[in-house]
Amino acid sequence: MPVFREVLAHAAAQPHRIAVRCGDTTRTYAQLARDAERARPDVKPGALVPLPDDDPVSQLTALLGADAAGAVPLATDPSWRPEHRRALLGPLPATVDGAVEYDLAWAGFTSGSTGRPRVVVRSRSSWTGSFAATDRLTGITADDTVLVPGSLSWSLTAFAAAHALAAGATVLLTGDWSLPGLRAALPAADVAHLVPHRLGAVLDARPRRLRTAVVGGAALGTALRERAADAGIGVVAYYGATELSFVAVDPDGSGLRPFDDVEIERRAGEVWVRSPWLAHGYLGDGGPLRRDDDGWATVGDLAHPGEPLVLRGRGDGAILTGGATVVPEDVEAVLAAVPGVASVVVVGLPHPELGQVVAAVVHGDGVRRAELEAAARAGLTPSQRPRRWLAVDELPRTSTGKPVRAPAAALTTRPLT
């Protein structure tokens, strides 16, 4: 079911209710429906439609217009440099194969993309079918104002905005995760979609109106949940992935349990999922999603045995930092091109708020940190850029000469200057 159809219904029933707000910009449901209809692209169903990235309201409006046309909207991140955006969009097809047959209507980037695109596509029902369960967990109704920070290129953000509009609520956008934007929007929010490292900042602001924080993207510590409870704010924490959608949820602090209609099993410590919420697959180059013949899928996340579900990282070495998934090979490819770099491995180091931070361990003569940072700014998204820079005299290697990533964090290193 198109989300645009829900917006039309709300526009008829409550035309003057504010549908979306971002800073000083507002649109009622009647205005949003009108603007989305005007933004409807003249394309065939199944066409891939990259959205404008000038401001969040225009992007959300264009997303709904593409949804109305039966096209597949694709949001990019305004923080991406033009050359990075061109590299991502250039290889993508104009039309998504099977879009009409499988009702594919949503597309978004995974967090780890650089020059090779990882665009995940999904059916409408893989999102909208889970709206009822999300209603029950979050308590969101048409009377609420729902804070949705971050870029709509994120699956987490796009889903949160679509769900709130389907519920008839007011969507409060910020466009990014900056603390000033978050703090400015908080006083009007009843519910906020957050990543764990921003929950602490929200609690520091002591919002009086906020009743529920929906937290995903990384593990939530007990201390943050307790702080929220002391402030009278309920926390609904969940685990999922762009490719898997919702997998498990913890609404009360008792631990992660399977989301509605989701089956979970562990295979050699790896989390496999079977559910109606799975994405269809990738456009362009593939990613970590794997499937079997019985409908089970995994992205390589690992978990400890037993119940409830306790995650322990990604089997392929992916780094989970502040709600973003960073693929080390993507970062290494950019840094390895810097003159003087003989070899480099990228690892995740523990961080009390972000879960992990990206660290680059570099081997090479005469390599300067300033040169590496310049390359990172030019070729990587903000979440991919290393926050720790370490130098090493030698990296361990496999029998084929490839640097070994796993022991790199335990090497004798020194800060890179």
289 and 254 assigned to the same domain: yes
> How many Cβ atoms from other residues are within 10 Å of residue 236's Cβ?
20
Q: Is the pLDDT of residue 32 over 80?
A: yes
Query: 74, 49 in Cβ contact below 8 A?
Result: yes
Instruction: Answer yes or no: do 99 and 222 share one domain.
Output: yes
Cα–Cα distance between 124 and 163 in angstroms, integer? 12
- The tens digit of pLDDT for each residue in 233-261 reads 999 999 999 899 999 999 999 999 999 99
Q: Is the pLDDT of residue 190 over 80?
A: yes
User: Distance between CA atoms of 189 and 197, rounded to whole angstroms?
Assistant: 18
| Mean pLDDT, rounded, for 92-111 | 87
- More confidently predicted of 108 and 128: 128
Residue 25 lies inside a defined structural domain of this protein: yes
With 70 as the cut, is the pLDDT of residue 371 above it?
yes
User: Considering the chain, what percentage of its residues have pLDDT values greater than 90?
Assistant: 58
Q: In this structure, are residues 320 and 356 in contact, taking their beta carbons and an 8 Å threshold?
A: yes
**Tokens linked to 68:** 């109305």
How far is the CA of 290 from the CAs of 8, 77, 113, 264, in angstroms? 37, 26, 18, 15
pLDDT attached to residue 413? 78
Q: Is residue 314 part of a domain?
A: no
Q: Are residues 215 and 155 in the same domain?
A: yes
Query: Are 67 and 190 members of one domain?
Result: yes
Number of domains composing the chain? 2
If asked whether residues 155 and 235 sit together in one domain, one would say yes
Q: Are both 92 and 48 inside the same structural domain?
A: yes
Write out the residue range of the structural domain in which residue 372 sits. Answer: 319-415
Global confidence as pTM = 0.80
Give the per-residue pLDDT at 1: 56
- 265 and 330 in one domain? no
Query: How do the residues of the chain divide into helix, strand and coil, expressed in percent and rounded to 5?
Result: 30, 30, 45
Instruction: Report if residue 63 sits inside a domain.
Output: yes
Residue 56 lies in a domain: yes
Residue 66 lies in a domain: yes
Structural domain contains residue 307? no
> Residue 350's Cα: distance from chain center in Å?
20
* 75 and 101 housed in the same domain: yes
Contact between 338 and 372 (Cβ < 8 Å): yes
Residues 41 and 143 in one domain: yes
Burial of 212 (0-12, 13-18, 19+ CB in 10 A): buried
Cα 326 from Cα 120, distance rounded (Å): 15
CA distance 214 to 84: 31
Q: What is the mean pLDDT of the chain?
A: 88
**Domain CATH for 59:** 3.40.50.12780
My answer on whether 324 and 298 are in the same domain is: no
Is 333 contained in some domain? yes
372 neighbors 378 (Cβ within 8 angstroms)? no
Residue 48 lies in a domain: yes
